Amino acid sequence: MTKETNKSRIIFMTLVSALFFCSLLIAASLSPLADSGPNANKFGTFNMWVSIGMVLAFYILPLILYIVGVHIMKLIMAVFCGVGLLMCLTTLVVILTMEISPTLLVLCIATLIVNVMWYFIAFRSSSKPNHQKRFI
pLDDT along the chain (136 residues), means of 10: 85 95 91 77 89 94 94 93 93 88 91 95 71 53
The count of other CB atoms within 10 Å of the CB of residue 65 is 16
Q: What is the pLDDT of residue 33?
A: 78
What are the helix (H) ranges across 1-136? 3-30, 46-68, 73-98, 102-123
Residue 64 CA: distances (Å) to CA of 10, 45, 78:
12, 28, 15
Cα 66 versus chain centre, distance: 16
Q: What is the pLDDT of residue 124?
A: 86
Q: What is the pLDDT of residue 74?
A: 92
Domain boundaries, the chain: 3-34+41-123
